[in-house]
Structure formats: C-alpha cells, structure tokens
Amino acid sequence: MRNQIALSEAGAQGGGLELRRVNRNRVYRAVYESGRVSQQELAQRLGLSLPTVAQNLRSLCAEGLLREDGSFASTGGRPAKGVSCVLDARLALGVDVTRRHVSAVLVDLGGRIVRGLRRTLPYEDSPAYYEAFGAIAREAAGEAEPERLLGAGVSFPGILSAGGGIRSSHVLSLGESDGAPFLGAMPCRALFCNDASAAGRAELWDRAGAQNVVYLSLSNSVGGAILLGGRLYEGESLRAAEFGHMTLVPGGKRCYCGKEGCLDAYCAAGVLSEPYGGDLSAFFAALDRGEEKAAALWGGYLDSLACAVNSLHMALDCTVVLGGYVGAYMTPYMDALRARAGARDTFGGDGAYLEPCRYRREASAVGAALLFVEPFLSSI
Ligand SMILES: [Zn+2]
C-alpha cells in the first residue's frame, strides 16, 4: 500500500547490512511519497546524514529506480537538485476473468494504469479460450521487456486453495483444479487472487492513512474483502468476507448456494438488471427517468443494502467501500443509502463511513497487478 510500504521487520538492530537496507528503503519511500524532493529535504526529513542520503540516491539512480529531476530554488548557495521516482522502472500485469469478459491492465510502481483493455471472451474450458486469454495479457503487456515485468496477477471469480490453485468457481462452473491453463497462458510468472479481494486491495491503495476498510463488491455475485491494519484478512479457510452468504432474511429468497435468504439474493447486480434484460445501465437510466418500477426496485435494494452495511459496520467499525458493478453507479445515491444506514445505526451515526468505489470496472485487475508491486516496493 502506498502509504505503508513495509520496512524490514528485522528493523535497525539487524546489523550494518540490515541498517543499510532499511535506510535505502526509507530513502526510496520518502521520494515515492513526495513525488519530487531535494537531497537536503530528504536528509532533514529522515534524520540521515547528507552523505548517506547521497549514496543511496546514487545507487537507486544507477539502478534506474530514481532519476534526477530539475532543481529547487535555494535561499543561498547552489540550487538543490531534485529527485523523483521512475515509476515505470518496473511494471505488473493484472488480468481479471469474468464469465463473459477478460480485462487486462499494465500497472506501474505508482499503481497507475499504463495500458488497459477489456475484451468479450465467454469462459469455456478449451485450448482456444486459454490462447485468446493469453493473447489479451500479451497485448496489455505491449513492448514491456521481460526484466521490467514483475509478474501477472490473475483475478479469479471463485474460492482459491491454500496451495495457490482453484477450489471452486460458481461463476465459471469450475471445480477444484491447479488452474495451470490460466497461469501458463501468462507471459511471465503468475499468481491467482480472488476477484473481490483484489478489488479491495486496489481500493485501499492510495487511500491516505486508511488501514482498515471493508470492501463490499456488488457484482454478479456479492463478495468482498476485509483489510485490517493494511493487510488482507483472509480467514482460517480463506473464506473471509463471503458477505454474499450472510443471512439477511431467514427463510427468504433462494440463493444460488442453495440456502434461503442470503444477502446475494437481495443485493447481487442481477436483482436490478434482470428486469432490464440483464443491462444494469438500462436499470439506472430508468431510475434516472423516474420510472416507478425502477424506483420501487431501487428502494427495496437500498433497504437490503443498508441492513448489510450496518451489520458490517457494527462488526468492524471502519470505512465500508461499495464496489462492483452496482458500486460503480452508487455515487449519486450515497446520501439515500447513508440515510437508511444511519436510521439503523445503534450509535446514532449518519452513515458517513460509507464510500463509493474509485474504480468502475478495472479494480480487480489493478488489485491483481498490485500483488506484485507491493512486495517489490518493500524489497527495494
Ligand atoms: Zn448463499
């Protein structure tokens, strides 16, 4: 996470070599967070001597991770040289698999999308599919040299196994497998991650100071991610944040999982889009036109969603970000949802903990790429 690139856990007491590594990472991190800064300011801010800062800057520049960047006016003597990060010194791929589409992004060390594309590619377990899947990833990677490419995160709509494979996917009708055809199609080393966890990771990135966030993904299924202390909480069976299967209405509507009354049956995107031919934008257009049927559907949806977010807030007492297909449309309706959530708040809150997502579609792909960016930043 941008605001908390981890320092070595061994800390400064690990001897001279370790201290040098920690200082090097602190120097890099300070430049990364500043955007552009002078050597003098770095020394002052980090409490390091000028020669130590200068030596680290020289080696980081020689490795292509930093570069000299203009100069700052000085009150006396020579102007101070500026330094900034070379954010595209390394790149990572993120590829998001859904039932009908594949999105791929190439992300730099700042978490910015260098290139992004989305293609219709209905999932089928066939060599032709995996060939087309790999071609989309290669297209996103473009001309990036292999040595600059840190890896590819494959965001997957399902539950992953502890060994790094696939346990199951309702969305793709897949059972247990090692997922080799997906990973093998990537142009570099690759890892799976759960799509909702990846999206949560992307949403937390760059949220200044945010350490604890619940991400509620409202897409074809309802899921999410819990980030505590800046880290993903995965649960003892890697099933944490399966918010879609919290019981909202005992004995209520049937969920795809076979149980009755799960949140998914009330808050999946299909609840809104199905009466509009599966087109969520058509539902929101009807809502904007003031169509009665759409308004009634939306009112019921917001009531269910308010119950869910209130429960999440009661359990974890932190920001709740609404993402997924529905989250991408939420911004104009946040006040309506906050009012409903506030009415349920035992402690008289006003729903201010609710935030819409920042990414519309590419959150999962970006989060998957960040799986490789974060460890690299920590390793500098
Ligand atoms: Zn369920």
Percentage of residues of the chain with pLDDT beyond 70: 94
Q: How far is the CA of 160 from the centre of ligand 1 (A)?
A: 18
DSSP notation for 197-256: HHHHHHHHTT-TT---EEEEEESSSEEEEEEETTEEE--TTS-TT-GGGSBSSTT-SBPT
Check whether residue 242 and residue 335 sit in a common domain: yes
Check whether residue 163 and residue 244 sit in a common domain: no
Q: What is the pLDDT of residue 79?
A: 76
pLDDT over threshold 80, residue 4 = no
Check whether residue 189 and residue 104 sit in a common domain: yes
Q: What is the pLDDT of residue 172?
A: 87
- Judge contact between 46 and 12, C-beta under 8 A: no
Q: How far is the CA of 86 from the centre of ligand 1 (A)?
A: 46
CATH number of the domain where residue 212 is located: 3.30.420.40
Check whether residue 248 and residue 352 sit in a common domain: yes
Q: How far is the CA of 257 from the centre of ligand 1 (A)?
A: 4
Check whether residue 291 and residue 247 sit in a common domain: yes
Q: How far apart are CA 213 and CA 232, in angstroms?
A: 9
Percentage of residues of the chain with pLDDT beyond 90: 72
The string of pLDDT tens digits covering residues 73-125 is 766 667 778 999 999 999 999 999 998 899 999 999 999 999 999 999 999 99
Give the least confident one: 101-105, 201-205, 268-272, 342-346.
201-205
Question: Residues with beta carbon < 5 A to ion ligand 1?
Answer: 245, 255, 257, 259, 262
Q: What is the pLDDT of residue 1?
A: 40
What residues pair up with 105 in beta bridges, in sequence order? 94, 116
Check whether residue 234 and residue 164 sit in a common domain: no
Q: How far is the CA of 247 from the centre of ligand 1 (A)?
A: 8
Q: What is the pLDDT of residue 74?
A: 65
Where in the chain does DSSP place strands (E)? 36-38, 66-72, 80-85, 91-97, 101-108, 113-120, 149-156, 159-160, 166-168, 190-194, 213-218, 222-228, 231-233, 319-323, 354-356
Q: Which residue has the tokens 């030596």?
A: 55
Q: 0.75 cut: is pTM over it?
A: yes
Would you give the DSSP letter of residue 79? Answer: P
Q: How far is the CA of 169 from the centre of ligand 1 (A)?
A: 14
Check whether residue 191 and residue 290 sit in a common domain: no
Please give the average per-residue pLDDT across 239-259, as a whole number.
Answer: 94
Check whether residue 176 and residue 218 sit in a common domain: no
> Which residue among 56, 85, 114 closes a domain?
85
Q: What is the pLDDT of residue 230?
A: 79
Q: How far apart are CA 120 and CA 244, in angstroms?
A: 26
Q: How far is the CA of 344 from the centre of ligand 1 (A)?
A: 23
Please give the average per-residue pLDDT across 60-66, as a whole number.
Answer: 96
Q: How far is the CA of 225 from the centre of ligand 1 (A)?
A: 17
Q: What is the pLDDT of residue 120?
A: 96
Give the length of the chain. 380
- Compute how many other C-beta atoms are within 10 angstroms of the C-beta atom of residue 187: 16
Q: What is the pLDDT of residue 6?
A: 38
Q: How far is the CA of 242 from the centre of ligand 1 (A)?
A: 9
Give residue 158's pLDDT band: very low, low, confident or very high (50, 70, 90).
confident
Check whether residue 213 and residue 351 sit in a common domain: yes
pLDDT over threshold 50, residue 320 = yes
Structural domains counted in the chain: 3
Q: What is the pLDDT of residue 306?
A: 98
Q: How far is the CA of 270 from the centre of ligand 1 (A)?
A: 14
Mean pLDDT of the chain: 90
> Which residue among 51, 85, 119 closes a domain?
85
pLDDT over threshold 60, residue 276 = yes
Q: How far is the CA of 13 from the centre of ligand 1 (A)?
A: 50
Check whether residue 215 and residue 346 sit in a common domain: yes
Please give the average per-residue pLDDT across 347-351, as a whole number.
Answer: 94
Q: How far apart are CA 322 and CA 336, in angstroms?
A: 14
Please give the average per-residue pLDDT across 37-45, as a whole number.
Answer: 92
Check whether residue 224 and residue 186 sit in a common domain: no
Tell me which residue range forms the domain holding 301.
Answer: 208-356
Q: How far is the CA of 310 from the centre of ligand 1 (A)?
A: 19
Sheet holding 91-97, edge to edge: 113-120, 101-108, 91-97, 149-156, 190-194
Check whether residue 252 and residue 339 sit in a common domain: yes
